[in-house]
Amino acid sequence: MSETDRIPQRPSLDGLEEKWAGVWEVEGTYRFDRTAARENVFSIDTPPPTVSGALHIGHVFSYTQTDIIARYQRMRGRDVFYPMGWDDNGLPTERRVQLTFGVQCDPTLPYDAEFEPPKKPGKERVLVSRRNFIELCQRQTEMDEQSYERLWKLVGLSVDWTHLYTTIGDRARATAQRGFLNSLKRGEAYPLDGPTLWDVSFGTAVAQAELEDRERPGAYHRIKFGEFFIETTRPELLPACVALVAHPTDARYKEHFGSTVRTPLFNVEVPLLAHHLADPEKGSGLVMVCTFGDLTDVTWWRELDLPTRTVMQRNGRLGLQPPDGVDEELYAPVAGLTVNQAREKIVALLRSSGELDGEPKPITHAVKFYEKGDRPVEIVATRQWYIRNGARTPELREIMLRRGRELEWEPAHMRTRYEHWVEGLTGDWVISRQRFFGVPIPLWYRLDADANPMYDDPIVPESLPMDPSSDTPPGYEEIDRGMPGGFVGDPDVMDTWATSSLTPQIAGAWLDDPELFALVFPMAMRPQAHEIIRTWLFTTVLRAQFEHGVLPWKHAAIAGWILDPDRKKLSKSKDNAKDSPEELVAQFGSDAIRYWAGSARRGVDTALDTNVFKVGRRLAVKLLNASRFVLGFGQESPDPAKVTEPVDRALLGALSTVVAEATTAFEQFDYARALEVTEQFFWTFCDDYVELVKARAYGEAAPSEVESARAALAIALSAVQRLLAPFLPYVAEEVWSWWQEGSIHRAAWPTPPAAADTAPFLVAAAVLGAIRRAKSAAQQSMKAEVAKLEVAGPVGTLQDVRADLTAAGNVRDWSISEAEELSATVSL
pLDDT digits (tens, 9 = 90+) for 421-464: 999 998 899 999 988 888 999 999 999 999 999 999 999 999 99
Residue range 239-248: average pLDDT? 96
Distance CA 306, CA 295 (A): 14
Task: Give the 3-state DSSP-derived string for 547-592, with helices as H, strands as E and coil as C.
Answer: HHCCCCEEEEEEECCEECCCCCECCCCCCCCCCCHHHHHHHHCHHH
CA 728-729-734 angle, to 5 degrees, is 105
Distance CA 21, CA 32 (A): 17
pLDDT of residue 733: 98
Give the C-alpha distances (Å, rounded to integers) separating 343 from 3, 47, 221, 242, 548: 80, 43, 10, 18, 50
- Residues in contact with 14: Cβ distance below 8 Å, sequence separation at least 6, in sequence order: none
Other Cβ atoms within 10 Å of 15 Cβ, number: 10
Q: For residue range 526-545, what is the model confidence (pLDDT) as tens digits?
A: 999 999 999 999 999 999 99
Distance CA 650, CA 759 (A): 7
Backbone angles phi, psi at 576, to 5 degrees: -115, 10
Q: Is the peptide bond before 465 cis (omega within 30 degrees of 0)?
A: yes
Predicted TM-score of the model (pTM) = 0.86
CA 751-753-757 angle, to 5 degrees, is 145
6's enclosing H/E stretch is helix 3-6
**Confidence grade of residue 252 (pLDDT, cut at 50, 70, 90):** very high
Least confident of 602-606, 708-712, 799-803, 806-810: 602-606
Q: Are strands 241-246 and 287-290 parallel, antiparallel or unpaired?
A: antiparallel
Burial class (CB in 10 A: 0-12, 13-18, 19+), 241: buried
Longest dimension (CA), the chain: 111
pLDDT of residue 470: 86
Flag whether pLDDT at 76 surpasses 60: yes
Q: For residue range 95-111, what is the model confidence (pLDDT) as tens digits?
A: 888 888 999 888 888 88
Q: What is the pLDDT of the chain when averaged over all its residues?
A: 93
Distance CA 274, CA 281 (A): 15
Distance CA 457, CA 95 (A): 35
**Confidence grade of residue 605 (pLDDT, cut at 50, 70, 90):** confident
Instruction: Classify 238 as helix, strand or coil.
Output: helix
Contact 205, 379 (CB under 8 A): no
pLDDT of residue 577: 59
Least confident of 229-238, 591-600, 817-826: 817-826
CA 656-662-663 angle, to 5 degrees, is 90
Give the residue among 393, 384, 490 at the shortest CA–CA distance from 188.
Answer: 393
pLDDT of residue 576: 55
For 280-291, b/e burial (b = at least 16 CB within 10 A) is beeebbbbbbbb
Flag whether pLDDT at 1 surpasses 50: no
Instruction: Classify 708 as helix, strand or coil.
Output: helix
User: What CA dihedral angle connects 81, 137, 178 and 34, to 10 degrees?
Assistant: -20
Other Cβ atoms within 10 Å of 469 Cβ, number: 17
Flag whether pLDDT at 150 surpasses 90: yes
Residue range 802-811: average pLDDT? 92
Flag whether pLDDT at 771 surpasses 90: yes
Distance CA 412, CA 404 (A): 11
Give the C-alpha distances (Å, rounded to integers) separating 311 from 263, 370, 779: 15, 20, 84
Q: Is the peptide bond before 180 cis (omega within 30 degrees of 0)?
A: no
Q: How many residues does the chain have?
A: 828
Other Cβ atoms within 10 Å of 8 Cβ, number: 10
Flag whether pLDDT at 3 surpasses 60: no
Give the residue among 817, 760, 771 at the shortest CA–CA distance from 793.
Answer: 817
Give the residue among 26, 286, 181 at the shortest CA–CA distance from 543.
Answer: 181
Distance CA 427, CA 638 (A): 65
Q: Are strands 823-827 and 788-793 parallel, antiparallel or unpaired?
A: antiparallel
Give the C-alpha distances (Å, rounded to integers) separating 112 from 131, 133, 135, 626, 652: 9, 10, 11, 64, 72
Contact 247, 258 (CB under 8 A): no
pLDDT of residue 4: 63
Distance CA 171, CA 509 (A): 8
Contact 202, 91 (CB under 8 A): yes
Within 250-338, residue ranges assigned H as helices are: 295-303, 328-331
Task: Determine the distance from the C-alpha atom of residue 609 to the mean position of all C-alpha atoms in its chain, rounded to a whole number.
Answer: 20
190's enclosing H/E stretch is strand 189-199
Q: For residue range 477-498, what is the model confidence (pLDDT) as tens digits?
A: 999 999 999 999 999 999 999 9
Beta pairing partners, 104: 127
Percent of the chain clearing pLDDT 70 (strictly above)? 98
For 757-776, b/e burial (b = at least 16 CB within 10 A) is ebbbbbbbbebbebbbebbe
Proportion of the chain in helix, strand, coil states, percent, rounded to 5: 45, 20, 40
Burial class (CB in 10 A: 0-12, 13-18, 19+), 694: middle
Flag whether pLDDT at 574 surpasses 80: no
pLDDT of residue 572: 58
Q: For residue range 336-393, what is the model confidence (pLDDT) as tens digits?
A: 999 999 999 999 999 999 999 999 999 999 999 998 888 999 999 889 999 999 998 9
Distance CA 5, CA 398 (A): 65
Q: Are strands 228-232 and 211-225 parallel, antiparallel or unpaired?
A: antiparallel
Q: Are strands 84-86 and 164-166 parallel, antiparallel or unpaired?
A: parallel
Q: For residue range 177-214, what is the model confidence (pLDDT) as tens digits?
A: 999 999 999 999 999 888 889 998 888 888 888 889 99
Q: Is the peptide bond before 411 cis (omega within 30 degrees of 0)?
A: yes
